[in-house]
């Protein structure tokens, strides 16, 4: 082998490795898009089936939820394509701004509640049909900014003062603001996402465990501070079926009615004003009742496939920021799906967590579509690297001359 061939060999080897990774990433990205599209289609059908009676009663239009869900699903797919076409590093530059905007919005909500402009839970911003939950923005802001900070602090990520404490303060600020809305379930999930990102980022386990030992008791006290949360916990841990909450009782009836193959499309009995929020928090119950155990397993497999594709994209991302962002988005969407399904199946206490891409709700669907767009963008970034690698000549093509 000539001297020129030997000098080019490392470059060729790296190019071939990038090319191989790019092909795998392309498959994961395309499969991810297919899975999300299928979940959105399921959402449109199930939301219409489960929400028709409620829409007729509330809006005098049985197709009200159908058209809104369809509109947001189309908008979500368009957003995925748009975000997937841009360089995902733009979110690294915007991460600090997004985080402070989300903290500002969460603070504004609490101030409006304090002066009695908002009554009850202070979660929504906007007017009329144009509303969104500030916690949705906060969740993604935490993912983007934590990914940036962990990437920048890789050399000293295990240090307390320069790394762990700044991350912890930012996370607990957002978690506390969301919990005070009150939205304890979402606050808990954001905390879990933040701790998982710190764990995979290399933060010392003993720091995470010592913090958890302090936070968990505080969270437990906060959880039992509200009577409605106490009632949910009592209902969940009770061995007497008569102590089950109305929602849980109706949910279990619906899942039991479905059997193996289900009652058929539009044949759910629980959707007929028996099960509250059957088109949102308990939409999985309608899936189980109308499509049976088989249909439920299909949905579970789709979310499992989403998780696997997201982890593959994270593992093969071209840089640390991409790896952490992909992991954070994948974990967030999968975690919310798990909690929703577990609540509907009476595996967790009742809480208000929607099923991603399926539950009725426009802004949540759009935020999750933004996340999927970022995942697609990371996979396409790898494909662009693959194209560059293909332009590098091999020794056999004359590159060593």
Distance CA 201, CA 190 (A): 16
Residue 172 has a pLDDT of 96
Range of the domain at 49: 3-397
How far is residue 158 CA from its own chain's centroid? 27
Q: How far is CA 62 from CA 66, 269, 291, 357, in A?
A: 8, 16, 21, 21
Distance CA 157, CA 199 (A): 10
Q: What is the pTM of this model?
A: 0.87
Backbone angles phi, psi at 126, to 5 degrees: 115, -175
Judged against a pLDDT cut of 90, whether residue 231 lies above it is answered with: no
Cβ atoms of 47 and 66 within 8 Å: the answer is yes
Backbone angles phi, psi at 125, to 5 degrees: -120, 145
Judged against a pLDDT cut of 70, whether residue 39 lies above it is answered with: yes
Judged against a pLDDT cut of 70, whether residue 13 lies above it is answered with: no
3-state secondary structure 337-351: HHHHHHHHCCCCCCC
Q: Which helix (H) or strand (E) holds 130?
A: strand 130-133
> What per-residue string of b and e applies to 164-180 under the rule 16 or more CB within 10 Å gives b?
beebbebbbbbbebbbb
Q: What is the tens place of the pLDDT at every residue in 117-161?
A: 877 677 777 766 667 889 999 999 999 999 999 999 888 888 988
Pinpoint the alpha helices (H) of 263-361: 283-315, 320-344
As a whole-number percent, the residues of the chain with pLDDT over 70 amount to 85
Residue 129 has a pLDDT of 63
Q: How far is CA 270 from CA 231, 255, 287, 369, in A?
A: 23, 9, 11, 29
Distance CA 141, CA 174 (A): 10
Average pLDDT over residues 207-232: 87
Highest mean pLDDT pick, 108-122, 222-236, 247-261, 280-294 = 280-294
How far is residue 136 CA from its own chain's centroid? 9
Judged against a pLDDT cut of 90, whether residue 397 lies above it is answered with: no
Number of domains composing the chain? 1
Residue 127 has a pLDDT of 66
Residue 276 has a pLDDT of 75
Judged against a pLDDT cut of 70, whether residue 8 lies above it is answered with: no
């Amino acid at each position: 082998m000539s001297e020129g061939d030997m000098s080019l060999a490392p470059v060729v080897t790296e190019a071939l490795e990038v090319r191989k990774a790019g092909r795998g990433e392309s498959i994961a990205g395309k499969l991810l898009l297919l899975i999300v599209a299928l979940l959105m289609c399921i959402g449109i059908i199930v939301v219409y089936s489960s929400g028709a009676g409620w829409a007729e009663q509330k809006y005098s239009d049985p197709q009200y939820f159908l058209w809104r869900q369809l509109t947001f699903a189309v908008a979500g797919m368009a957003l995925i394509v748009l975000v997937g076409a841009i360089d995902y590093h733009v979110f690294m530059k915007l991460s600090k701004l997004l985080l402070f905007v989300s903290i500002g919005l969460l603070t504004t909500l609490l101030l409006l509640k304090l002066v009695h402009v908002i009554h009850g839970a202070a979660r929504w911003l906007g007017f009329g049909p144009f509303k969104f939950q500030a916690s949705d923005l906060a969740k993604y802001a935490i993912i983007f900014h934590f990914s940036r900070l962990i990437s920048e602090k890789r050399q000293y990520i295990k240090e307390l003062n320069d790394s762990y404490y700044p991350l912890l303060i930012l996370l607990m600020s957002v978690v506390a603001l969301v919990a005070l809305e009150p939205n304890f379930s979402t606050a808990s999930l954001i905390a879990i996402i933040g701790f998982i990102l710190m764990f995979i980022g290399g933060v010392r386990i003993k720091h995470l465990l010592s913090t958890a030992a302090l936070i968990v008791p505080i969270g437990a006290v906060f959880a039992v501070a509200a009577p409605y949360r106490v009632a949910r916990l009592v209902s969940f841990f009770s061995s007497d079926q008569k102590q089950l909450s109305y929602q849980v009782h109706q949910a279990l009836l619906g899942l039991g009615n479905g059997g193996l193959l289900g009652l058929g499309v539009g044949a759910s009995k629980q959707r007929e004003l028996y099960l509250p929020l059957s088109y949102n928090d308990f939409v999985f119950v309608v899936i189980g009742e109308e499509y049976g155990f088989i249909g439920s397993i299909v949905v579970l497999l789709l979310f499992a496939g989403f998780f696997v594709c997201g982890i593959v994209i994270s593992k093969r991302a071209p840089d640390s920021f991409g790896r952490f962002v992909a992991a954070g988005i994948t974990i967030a969407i999968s975690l919310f799906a798990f909690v929703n399904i577990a609540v509907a199946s009476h595996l967790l206490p009742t809480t208000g967590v929607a099923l991603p891409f399926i539950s009725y709700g426009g802004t949540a669907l759009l935020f999750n579509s933004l996340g999927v767009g970022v995942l697609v963008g990371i996979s396409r970034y790898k494909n662009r690297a693959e194209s560059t690698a293909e332009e590098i000549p091999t020794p056999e093509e004359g590159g060593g001359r």
